[in-house]
Amino acid sequence: MERYTDDGSTPDLDLVEYVVITVPELSSTVGVAAALGDLVDSARIRILDLVGVVVGPDGRVTVVEPELVPGLARLREVQGEVGGLLSEDDLALASSALQPGTSALIVVVEDCWARLLSGAARDVGGRIVGGERIPRYRLEQAARAARGGAA
């Protein structure tokens, strides 16, 4: 049975995901950076990689390193190594959902809040093997259906 030791230096690889956060433009990321910083400070997440992307009107994706985005200054204080996990293919895949003329932050995080659950699963020979965001429109449809409205 694989054992994970929570020494704080190694991420639990069963708890790593990427999140795409759209913003009107990368210059408007101050509040998002503050929220990410608070999540790191409270040990709910660990940021493993972070990049900005800008999708031009022609659909061309430009990758912007976080140190070049003034709105992300708050995250320069974040502890640990950040970077190097996202490949060009990862960025292309994550950016494919973005509309032309939009920007986004792509963040790879360890969901530290789930370490207790991950450890409990490992203790009995299991693992956390997946998870997925449920699209907003599906939740709204389900809520309408539960209220007796059209799905």
Each residue's pLDDT tens digit, 77-136: 775 567 789 999 999 999 998 999 999 999 999 999 999 999 999 999 999 998 888 889
What does each C-alpha distance from 31 to 59, 72, 94, 126, 145 come to in angstroms? 26, 9, 22, 38, 35
Under a CB-based contact definition with an 8 Å cutoff, are residues 90 and 18 in contact? yes
Helix (H, G, I), strand (E, B) or coil at 106: strand
pLDDT band at residue 3 using 50, 70 and 90 as cut-offs: very low
Under a CB-based contact definition with an 8 Å cutoff, are residues 62 and 53 in contact? yes
pTM confidence score:
0.83
What is the predicted pLDDT for the residue at 6?
57
